[in-house]
Every structure is written in structure tokens, then in C-alpha cells.
Amino acid sequence: MSTDRITLLQSLLERVKRNAALPRRFLGSNLVFGGTPGTQTDVVTGPALPIFAVPQSAPVAAGRSPTLSGAARVPTMSGAIIPLPPLAAAPPKTQVPAEVIEELDFDDSEAVDVTSDRPPPAEISSVEASPVVSVVEVVEAIDTTARRTEVAPVDELRWTEPPQQDSPPDSSPRPRAAASLDEALAEAAEDSDSVMPLKTPPPESGRQPMDGVYSASMPDTTPTDMLPLPTVEQLGETLDLEAPTSANIELDLVVSQVQTRKEELEFELPLRPSALELPAHDELPTLTTTQAPAASSQRRTGQPPRILVVPDDGDTVEMAAIEPMPDIPAPSTDRGIAELQAEVTARSAPAQTVAAEVIHAARRFTPRSFAELLDASLKLGG
Amino acid sequence: MAEPQFNPAHALKIDLGCGHVTLHGQAPCLVVPKGALLELLGAAGEEAARNFGQQLGVAAGHRIAESLGSGIHQASIGSFVDHLGGEIAILGLGSLAVERWGQALVIVIEGAPLGRPGVALVSAVVAGALQRALSRDATAVELMQSEGTLRLLIASKAAARKVQQWLAQSVPWGDVLTRLHEPRGEA
């Protein structure tokens, strides 16, 4: 809260106190704020009678009687505006001291302008009527606030008192820390016997006593500190390992005795003593001949397939996947480095016999019209 | 001089109101299923089928003559086949083509109605059209038929009888054509 706000509230408090000291008659009769009385509502029912009410809280100058100048217009339910003759407001019954009126510094926006065409909304009357009550309530509220501010330190003092006289919380106490290692071991042995505590302290169980052993600081122990140290018999004799050498690790490669059926594009790599060694040039996969019968016969006889092209070392990966299927010509690579050979069975030499003998050639006949062809056809066999 | 093309426009008119079908503006016609017609012709006999087909061919030849006019005797093979094939197609008897084996004129019809009544009908139609259009006494003899293809040899009546004899003697139709081209003394 800012300083200006505090200053404003203090000045308001002083003014309220000062007004509170005034007699009640000044407050009850004339301190009526703007707005229509509670009995006069904004909604006019019944005949369109001229309704006119002069709020006594209209902003008038001190010492002047509130009068209306000009013709006032009162709205009705039908929407027609009835002009009213100028009326003189009733004089106040009690003369209000100018000082009191001056103290009530109302805002002009809270006053109802009866000269306006539109009637004030219904909510305005209720809102503006509330400060009438709040004048007294503010004083009471201020008094209550003042009393609370006086009581507050007492509550704080009571709050800090030790809860000796209070009944203990209905919960099991927190596990207190052991003061020594022996006590901790004993408690651990007891805890191992009991499965679980009878009552688990809820988080809202209240404050725990902080005096006595509870005020003692927690020992800085770790679980490893709580374990018993190993004995010499348990440790045994310690042997130092030799320093590592640079000798290669020799692993025996076990060759599988079961010959599984090879997949279509499977290539079995030759076994080498070490996987880090580069394969020899002869071990590189090569593209064999695609002549199916010959390849199958060579496979049966056990002869190695004829190597057509030996790829470079860089082509090992792509060439390793090519192995011709039995009795099926192997696919060619897209590089065109393999030369496919097909088995061609040549026909036997034709016999030296005369298949046809031309005795005489037909006469050259080229009809120029369909009728000529028809005539020639009709002459045949005649 | 350009030869007139076959014009099938408005060749077949169906008057739904009167229930009439007109072919080339001539006499009301009947639209009969092929199977029913062949069954009828088979029951009527081969001679009746030839007579029926002869009438259809004559009418077709008449329309060909009208289309080609006075230049029908000078009409090329293509032009005449165009008109004759058009008429055969409108009748629903198949697709017509012409083969020339030496001097022999062979008409090939794809999708022709087969069987004895069908061959008799088509042969009579082709012969009647040629007779009426070119005023020739031509005879259409069945050389072979297989898988919807019918080959008809256009020959004289004397030659037609010889061909039928050779075919009855199981002489291949190629040899029949060869024999037709042999000199008269040898044939």
C-alpha cells in the first residue's frame, strides 16, 4: 500500500471520527445520498403520472435552497416525456450546518441528474443508497480493526508458547535420532522385529516436541558407518595382478558342424584368425559365370567356378551379395562389369535335300478393278 | 475421279411410334436374332436358305450399284470391298475382306454365322450381291471355315462343282486353288 493511500485513509478516518462525534440528528435526517428513495423505483407502473423526486443529496451549494430551473422532463413507461412545470423543492426541515455538508464531499457522478432525458438505471439507486449505511458501518469497522490490531500481538505470544499444557497429538512420535552408534544399532534391531509402526504420523499431526533429546542435533552418520567393519578373516589375502601386456588375445573360432541351408543372397565370409585382418585377394567374392547348367555341373563335380571378373577392393561390399541360384541364371549387376554367357544349342546342319521345287512361275496378274479380278476368278477352272 | 465412299448414315431407321424398321428407306424390315433365323433356315432346308440369302444379296447389290453408279465396273478392289463389306455388316453377317490367290478371288468373312445354314446364307448373299451389282453369274463356294472365319471362293458354276468335288476328296483348299490355276488340259 502506497503512502498516499495510507495518508488518504488516515484523513478519511479522522473525518469519520469527527463526524461520529456530531449529534445523531444531523446524520439521520439530512445525510441522504443521491438516488431515489427505496420506495420510488425506476419502473413506473400504472398511469403515466408525473413522478418527481428531488434527492436531498443533490449537489447544491451551501446555504442555497435546491431549486430546479427550467422545465423538467420525466420519462414514463410509454416512452413519452412529459414536461413538468418548474417546481420548488421543499425546504429542508433542519438546517444543516455548512460545515457538515462541506465535509461530505460527494462525487458529482453519484448524483442523479433529473434533467436528463434518461432515467437512472435501477442499479444506481441501490448502489448509491449503500453509502448511507456504510457511514456508520465504517466507524464500526474501524473500531473493529483497531481492536484486532491490539489483539494480534497477544495471539502471537500465545502461539509461541510451548505446547506443554496441550494434549499430545494422536499420533506416534517421529523416530528420534539415536544419540550414539550403539543406540542406533539397538533401535535398528528393534525395528527389524516390528514390521511397521502402529501409527504413521500424518503431515498435519502437529508440532513435535523440540526439547530434551529432540533438541539434540542429528549425528552426521551414513549407512556405511553403521555397518560393522569386516574382520581380517573376511578380508583374506590380497593378491596384486600383473601389469597388462600387449599380447594379442587368441580366441578359438569354433566352426559350426551343422551346415545350414544358405539363403538366396547370403555370402559366407571365410574364417580368418583375426577379424581385424584384411581378407586376402583370393577370398574376395567374385562374380561367377551365369551359365546355369555349367555352373550346376561344376558345383556337382566340386570344381571351383570360373572367375570372370575380379573386382577391386572397393567393390567388395556390392559384389558379396551375388551368388547364382542353382539352375537359374544369376542376376547381373548394374555396373555392367560382368559378362553374361548363355548356352546356345545350335541346330544341326540342314539336309541337302530340295524342300521345294519351282516348276513354273505364275503369270504376272495385277487387276485394276474389282470387276477385272472377278472376271479372272470366274475364268478359273472353266 | 474420286470414288464414292460407303455411307452408312441413316441406313437403318427404327420408328418407335409405328414399330417399323426401315433399311435404306426400303421396305419395312424385321430385326431377328441370328440364332433364331439360322434355326429357321436349318429347318427350312439348304435350298430355302440359299433362296433367302439370294434375295438379301440382290438387295445389297442393288444398293452397291446405286452407290457406285456407272463407274462400278471401274471401281477399285478397295472401293468395291468397302461397299460390299458395308452392306454385309449392316445385315449383321460379319466383317468382309478380300484375298487374291493368283487369279482366284477369295472373300473372307470374320464372324460369319457358321454351320450349314449359316454358310449357305452368307454364300447366297455374297453371290446375289455380285450378280446384281456387276451382272456376273458368280458362285460362292466354301473353301474353309474355322473359328468364325469363312473363306468363300468366287468362281463360275463349272469351277464351283470341281472345287466341291476336290474338297469332298479331302484336297486341301490351298491345293484346290493351285489346281484351279493349272491349264485346262491338266485340271
Q: Which residue has the cell 485340271?
A: B187
pLDDT for the residue numbered B75: 93
The answer for B 141-180 residues in CB contact with A (under 8 A) is: 153-156, 158-159, 162-163, 179-180
CA distance A359 to chain B (A): 12
**Residue A103 grid cell:** 465535509
Phi-psi region of A282 (alpha: psi -120 to 50; beta: other; left: phi over 0): alpha
Residue type, A92: P
How is residue A276 annotated by DSSP?
Answer: T
Please give the span between the terminal C-alpha atoms of chain B, in angstroms, as a whole number: 41
User: What pLDDT sits at residue B117?
Assistant: 86
pLDDT at B28: 84
Chain A residues with CB under 8 Å of a chain B CB are: 362, 365, 367-371, 373-382
Could you report the per-residue pLDDT of A130-188, keeping only the tens digit for each?
444 444 455 555 555 555 555 444 444 555 555 555 555 555 556 677 778 888 888 88
Nearest CA distance, B112 vs chain A (angstrom): 22
**Could you tell me the pLDDT band of residue A258, with boundaries at 50, 70 and 90?**
low
Mean pLDDT score, A189-212: 62
A91 or B177: which leads in pLDDT = B177
ipTM score: 0.90
B156 contacts in A (CB within 8 Å)? 378-382
**Helical (H) or strand (E) element with B60:** helix B46-68
From the number of C-beta atoms within 10 Å of its C-beta (0-12, 13-18, 19+), residue A124 rates as: middle
E strand intervals along chain A:
72-75, 81-84, 287-288, 307-309
Chain B residues touching residue A382 (CB < 8 angstroms):
156, 158-159, 184
Closest CB to B155 among A369, A371, A378: A378
Cell numbers placing A237: 589375502
Beta bridge partners of A87: none
CA A123-A127-A133 angle, to 5 degrees, is: 145
Q: What is the pLDDT of residues B81-103, one digit of tens each?
A: 999 999 999 999 999 999 999 99
How far apart CA A117 and CA A112 sit, in angstroms, is 12
- Using pLDDT thresholds of 50, 70 and 90, give the confidence band for residue B182: confident
In this complex, do B156 and A378 lie within 8 Å of one another by their Cβ atoms? yes
Residue of A nearest to B162 (CA): A381
Chains A and B: how many Cβ contacts under 8 Å? Answer: 76
CB-CB under 8 Å, B104 with A380: yes
Say whether B180 and A365 touch across the interface (CB within 8 A). Answer: no
CA A18/CA A99 separation, integer angstroms: 11
A370 contacts in B (CB within 8 Å)? Answer: 75-77, 79-81, 98, 134
Domain borders along chain A are 3-145
Q: Which residues of A touch B162 (CB under 8 A)?
A: 381
3-state secondary structure of A129: helix
Q: For residue B187, list chain A residues with Cβ-Cβ distance below 8 A.
A: 381
Tell me which of B187 and B116 has the higher pLDDT. B116
**Tens of pLDDT, residues B8-55:** 888 889 999 999 899 888 778 888 898 899 899 999 998 999 999 999
Instruction: Find the range with the poorest average confidence among A178-192, A223-237, A317-331, B24-38.
Output: A317-331
Per-residue model confidence (pLDDT) at position A13: 93
- With cell 577391386, the residue in question is A312
What are phi and psi for residue A109, nearest 5 degrees? -70, -20
Q: Cβ(A25)–Cβ(A93) under 8 Å?
A: no
CB contact (8 A) between residue B130 and residue A365: no
Reported as a single tens digit per residue, the pLDDT across A276-290 is: 556 565 555 554 444
pLDDT at A154: 46
- The domain defined by B12-180 folds into Muramoyl-pentapeptide Carboxypeptidase; domain 2 (3.30.1380)
Per the listing, cell 431515489 goes with A36
What is the rounded (10 degree) CA torsion for A11, A14, A16, A17? 170
The crossing angle, in degrees rounded to 10, of helices B34-44 and B46-68 is: 130
**Which of A162-166, A320-324, B155-159 is the least confident region?**
A320-324
> Does B159 sit within 8 Å of A380, measured CB to CB?
yes
Q: Which of A367, A380, A382 sits opposite B77 (nearest CB)?
A: A367
Rounded alpha-carbon distances, angstroms, from residue A17 to A100, A103, A280 = 13, 12, 111
- For residue A119, the surrounding DSSP H or E stretch is none
Q: What's the pTM value of the predicted model, to 2 decimals?
A: 0.40
Q: In chain B, where do the E strands start and end?
A: 12-15, 20-23, 26-29, 95-101, 104-110, 139-146, 149-155
Smallest Cβ distance to B136: which of A365, A374, A380?
A374
Nearest-by-CA chain A residue for B79? A370
* DSSP state letter for A174: P
CA-CA distance, A88 to A85, in Å (whole number)?
10
**One-letter amino acid identity for A89?**
A
Mean of the per-residue pLDDT values for chain A?
A: 57
B181: exposed, middle or buried (Cβ count in 10 Å: 0-12, 13-18, 19+): middle
Which pLDDT band, with edges at 50, 70 and 90, does A375 fall under? Answer: very high
For residue A362, the chain B residues in CB contact (below 8 A) are 102, 181
CA-based nearest distance B137→chain A, Å: 9
- Rounded Cα distance between A331 and A324, Å, is 7
Confidence category of residue A68, pLDDT binned at 50, 70, 90: very low
Lookup result for grid cell 580368418: A272
Q: What percent of chain A has pLDDT over 70?
A: 19
Q: Which residue has the cell 504376272?
A: A364
Tell me the backbone φ, ψ of residue A225, rounded to 5 degrees.
Answer: -70, -30
B100 closest CB neighbour out of A373, A375, A381: A373
Query: To 5 degrees, how large is the angle CA B95–CA B96–CA B100?
Result: 150
